[in-house]
């Protein structure tokens, strides 16, 4: 079983860097910009962007370093200062207590983190942070960022580990003009930047050409800026209307602005080595990043935020985005402050006489929490312990959806002492029963995640619904990979020709169910797609395909080279190495794949995915003893990991350790009953040992959770047949052909059992 993955030195504070763009523009620094743009500089000074990262000084350090000790899970961290410098004594990577100098502050409000630099060029962020909120709000204290995920020394969640490394996880979005400069050969960094914080050129691109243009006195549109933002349009509420319309078409300008912000404010992986917003203006977000769609664990099935997804993905789902609203319609782009407070912000586009009234929000007290637009339409989720971030999908509260799929709703996020049914009843008393439209997104994605019987058709309906946002439709297409049949295949083929790049990417991800040799006809046209993310998605599906003619092979080889170069952008992260290994494996390059897995384990010696994948590589090569050894190592680190136990059980079968294999497979199926394959394989193993009745019981129990699972139905039909229980065998065979009417093997089995 292989895992797929995706990604998160001291130099002078200002260092001019040559950019990677073809125009030779370079960074000039905020002070150069301030000469002509003083009002914007005043607004930016003191903003969160200004405070994104600063040298640790008495003016920038907010935390209490007066010999204060913080304790968490038995680990003590003591914060001190001496001769104007700041220090922490805490547990290092080797488990021993050491004193570390604080080099930079990181962020400002509602929390501030602290960075420590090491000789290999790494900077690491302490997981103990300062809560900078006022004391009356619970702030002015040290606290542990992730109290339940505190890693031990040597683990990636320890503050010295891979996932708290500034160079790879944080730097590009907290600094301007960042060049990561990671060396795989030495596992070191020589990271540089133009400015330590998020300054003017983070959004506008390197400014040398603009500065020359300004000094030349020339007029015209070609002002030398790398990123061109259009003038803001006025939005006007016409007489008799309740919602504003723009005076002109806002979409083109809005897209440029939103995608510029999205470079940092999105859950995405980078596929370009260029610093943020340091690329040609004709390129889109998806030319430089791969966007995460509504993945399980990141978003709830209806699209609400669950994990930290950084705004862009939720905003793409909103009606505001569809209308052409941009970030700066609500936020000052330089100070980052909201342009108005409370409901006044919304009333600029939504007539207050219609919306800011109990007739709309049904809360009688005008200044109550329930009367605030954002509390109903942009509920907040707290991340990093104290940081409440609002969902920008701006949806209508749907407690009825909560009752169906378990996603949260704004009503019960305020009324925590009430059940969803209470909220449903309240809304029905206001609006009447049966007034809420069916929530296709929630129904389809939840069905797809839970393998519901109607999932296939619901996902197809969602993918084909042009009234739904692209994020949800692309997610539905990806989930169709779990429902391979002629109908879903037709829907996927249709979206391969969509004019929406996210839908083309979603359709490509769904085609993973196709055998490699059958992919060329559908996938190869997208090797030359105008959008880079689409080209890479197509390339990934075709790596390793055989029987191509010489021109076809040459074309594919060129794209594979570009794809691997893009993966190298994330080569300093364990999961970046996993992705490289998968690409090498698809090429048949076992040596390079093994090296990549080895490098992943160098970056994170306790990486379970790397161990599992390396064990699988050994299995492919027939190195069974090494595979088993690797899996036993993984089990020692994660004794109750169902995936590890399942892989270990299979390896033990191959090594003729049948008794141990049965223990491992049973435990895997018990720990993860939702993973049907574990129960299926355990059942097959039981049957092979002559324990057929136990096998049937295990499989029937699994079938109750996945009623249309082909493997289970097939196995139950054949096991019962072999036991002479023909009536039971016919029942399972009948269910099999109903679920898979075009499956020849299923039809053949069904017919063979008839009288």
Whether residue 269 contacts residue 414, with contact meaning beta carbons closer than 8 Å, is answered with no
Identify which of 211, 176, 167, 208 has the alpha carbon closest to the alpha carbon of residue 195.
176
Q: Is the pLDDT of residue 197 over 80?
A: yes
Whether residue 535 contacts residue 559, with contact meaning beta carbons closer than 8 Å, is answered with yes
Tell me: the pLDDT tens digits for 55-104?
999 999 999 999 999 999 999 999 999 999 999 999 999 999 999 999 99
Tokens of residue 534, six digits: 């689409």
Q: Is the pLDDT of residue 708 over 50?
A: yes
**Average pLDDT value for residue range 543-548:** 92
**Neighbour count for residue 242 (Cβ, 10 Å):** 14
- Residue 208's pLDDT is what? 94
Whether residue 177 contacts residue 19, with contact meaning beta carbons closer than 8 Å, is answered with yes
**Which 3 state secondary structure label does DSSP give 606?**
coil
Q: Is the pLDDT of residue 12 over 50?
A: no
- Residue 152's pLDDT is what? 85
CA distance 730 to 6: 45
- Please, what is the average pLDDT of the chain? 92
**Torsional class of 118: left (φ above 0), alpha (ψ -120 to 50), beta (otherwise):** beta
- Residue 23's pLDDT is what? 52
Q: Is the pLDDT of residue 154 over 90?
A: no
pLDDT band per the 50, 70, 90 thresholds, residue 3: very low
Q: Which helix (H) or strand (E) holds 625?
A: helix 624-637
Maximum alpha-carbon separation in the chain: 94
Whether residue 603 contacts residue 573, with contact meaning beta carbons closer than 8 Å, is answered with yes
**Average pLDDT value for residue range 327-336:** 96
Contacts of 296 (CB under 8 A, 6+ apart): 449
Query: Lowest-pLDDT range, 68-82, 150-164, 505-519, 658-672?
Result: 150-164
Q: Which helix (H) or strand (E) holds 402?
A: helix 399-405
Identify which of 274, 264, 283 has the alpha carbon closest to the alpha carbon of residue 203.
264
- Residue 281's pLDDT is what? 64
Whether residue 641 contacts residue 618, with contact meaning beta carbons closer than 8 Å, is answered with no
Distances (CA, A) of 70 to 73, 84, 85, 237: 10, 21, 19, 54
Instruction: State in Å, rounded, how far the first CA of the chain is from the last one.
Output: 41
**Which 3 state secondary structure label does DSSP give 224?**
coil
CA distance 120 to 18: 24
CA distance 100 to 473: 49
CA distance 722 to 692: 10
- Residue 50's pLDDT is what? 97
Contacts of 9 (CB under 8 A, 6+ apart): 117, 121, 122, 123, 189, 190, 191, 192
- Residue 277's pLDDT is what? 87
**Which 3 state secondary structure label does DSSP give 467?**
coil
**DSSP notation for 544-576:** T--S--HHHHHHHHHHHHHHHHHHGGGTTSHHH
CA distance 17 to 679: 56
- Residue 754's pLDDT is what? 83
Q: Which residue has the tokens 């055989």?
A: 546
Three-state DSSP string of 188-209: EECCECCECCCCHHHHHCCCHH
CA distance 586 to 516: 10
CA distance 273 to 291: 16
Tell me: the pLDDT tens digits for 333-369?
999 999 999 999 999 999 999 999 999 999 988 889 9
Tell me: the pLDDT tens digits for 586-634?
999 999 999 999 999 999 999 999 999 999 999 999 999 999 999 999 9
Distances (CA, A) of 562 to 158, 183, 282, 535, 674: 34, 19, 20, 10, 38
Q: Which carries the bigger pLDDT value, residue 486 or residue 39?
A: 39
Q: Is the pLDDT of residue 4 over 80?
A: no
Parallel, antiparallel, or unpaired: how do β-strands 188-189 and 182-183 relate?
A: antiparallel
**Torsional class of 433: left (φ above 0), alpha (ψ -120 to 50), beta (otherwise):** beta
Q: Which residue has the tokens 């049937």?
A: 696
CA distance 392 to 415: 21
- Residue 221's pLDDT is what? 67
**DSSP notation for 269-314:** EE---SPTT-S-TT--GGGTEEE--S-BTTB-TTS-B-S--TTHHH
Whether residue 483 contacts residue 710, with contact meaning beta carbons closer than 8 Å, is answered with no
Q: Is the pLDDT of residue 22 over 60?
A: no
Q: Is the pLDDT of residue 17 over 60?
A: no
């Amino acid at each position: 079983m292989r895992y797929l993955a995706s990604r998160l030195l001291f130099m002078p504070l200002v260092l001019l860097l040559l950019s990677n763009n073809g125009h030779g523009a370079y960074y000039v620094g905020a002070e150069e910009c301030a000469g002509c743009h003083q009002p914007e500089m005043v607004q930016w000074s003191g903003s969160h962007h200004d405070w994104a990262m600063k040298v640790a000084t008495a003016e920038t350090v907010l935390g209490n370093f007066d010999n204060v000790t913080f304790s968490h899970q038995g680990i003590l961290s003591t914060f001190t200062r001496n001769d104007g410098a700041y220090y922490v004594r805490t547990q290092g990577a080797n488990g021993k207590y050491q004193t570390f100098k604080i080099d930079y502050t990181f962020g400002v409000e509602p929390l501030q983190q602290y960075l420590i630099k090491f000789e290999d060029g790494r900077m690491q962020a302490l997981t103990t942070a300062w809560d900078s909120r006022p004391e009356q709000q619970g702030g002015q204290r040290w606290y542990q960022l992730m109290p339940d995920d505190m890693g031990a020394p040597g683990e990636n969640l320890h503050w010295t580990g891979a996932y708290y490394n500034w160079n790879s996880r944080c730097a590009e979005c907290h600094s301007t003009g960042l060049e990561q400069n990671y060396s795989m050969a030495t596992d070191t960094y020589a990271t540089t930047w133009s400015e330590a914080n998020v300054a003017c050129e983070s959004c506008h691109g390197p400014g040398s050409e603009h500065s020359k243009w300004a000094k030349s006195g020339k007029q015209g549109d070609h002002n030398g800026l790398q990123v061109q933002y259009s003038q803001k349009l006025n939005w006007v509420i016409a007489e008799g209307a309740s919602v504003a319309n723009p005076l002109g078409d806002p979409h083109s300008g809005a897209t440029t602005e939103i995608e510029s912000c999205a470079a940092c404010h999105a859950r995405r992986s980078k596929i370009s080595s260029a610093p943020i917003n340091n690329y040609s203006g004709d390129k889109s977000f998806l030319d430089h990043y791969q966007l995460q769609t509504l993945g399980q664990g990141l978003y709830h099935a209806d699209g609400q935020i669950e994990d930290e997804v950084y705004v862009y993905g939720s905003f793409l789902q909103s009606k505001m985005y569809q209308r052409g609203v941009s970030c700066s319609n609500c936020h000052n782009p330089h100070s980052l402050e909201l342009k108005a407070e409370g409901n006044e912000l919304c009333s600029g586009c939504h007539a207050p006489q219609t919306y800011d009234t109990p007739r709309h929000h049904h809360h009688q007290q005008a200044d109550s929490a329930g009367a605030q637009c954002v509390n109903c339409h942009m509920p907040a989720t707290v991340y990093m312990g104290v940081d409440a971030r609002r969902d920008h999908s701006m949806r209508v509260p749907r407690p009825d959806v909560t009752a169906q799929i378990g996603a949260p709703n704004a009503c019960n996020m305020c009324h925590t002492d009430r059940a969803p049914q209470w909220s449903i009843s309240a809304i029905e008393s206001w609006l009447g029963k049966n007034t809420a439209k069916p929530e296709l997104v929630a129904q389809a994605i939840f069905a797809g995640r839970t393998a519901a019987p109607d999932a296939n058709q619901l996902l197809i309906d969602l993918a084909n619904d042009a009234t739904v946002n692209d994020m949800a439709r692309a997610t539905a297409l990806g989930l169709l990979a779990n429902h391979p049949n002629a109908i879903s295949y037709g829907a996927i083929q249709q979206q391969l020709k969509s004019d929406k790049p996210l839908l083309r990417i979603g359709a490509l991800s769904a085609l993973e169910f196709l055998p490699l040799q059958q992919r060329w006809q559908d996938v190869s046209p997208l090797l030359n797609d105008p959008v880079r993310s689409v080209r890479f998605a197509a390339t990934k599906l075709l790596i390793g395909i055989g029987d191509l003619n010489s021109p076809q092979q040459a074309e594919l080889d060129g794209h594979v080279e570009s794809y691997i170069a893009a993966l190298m952008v994330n080569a300093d992260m364990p999961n970046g190495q996993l992705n490289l290994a998968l690409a090498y494996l698809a090429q048949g390059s076992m040596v390079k794949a093994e090296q990549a897995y080895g490098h992943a384990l160098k970056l994170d010696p306790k990486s379970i995915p790397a161990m599992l994948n390396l064990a699988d590589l050994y299995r492919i090569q027939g190195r069974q003893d090494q595979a088993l050894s690797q899996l036993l190592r993984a089990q020692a680190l994660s004794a109750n990991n169902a995936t590890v136990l399942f892989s270990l059980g299979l390896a033990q079968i191959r090594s003729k350790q049948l008794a141990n294999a049965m223990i491992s497979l049973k435990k895997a199926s018990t720990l993860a009953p939702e993973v049907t394959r574990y129960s299926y394989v355990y059942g097959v193993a039981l049957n092979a040992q002559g324990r057929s009745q136990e096998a049937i019981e295990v499989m029937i129990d699994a079938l109750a959770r996945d009623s249309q699972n082909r493997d289970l139905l097939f196995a139950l039909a054949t096991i019962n047949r072999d036991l002479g229980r023909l009536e039971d065998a016919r029942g399972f065979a009948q269910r099999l052909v109903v679920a898979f009417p075009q499956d020849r093997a299923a039809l053949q089995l069904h017919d063979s059992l008839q009288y």
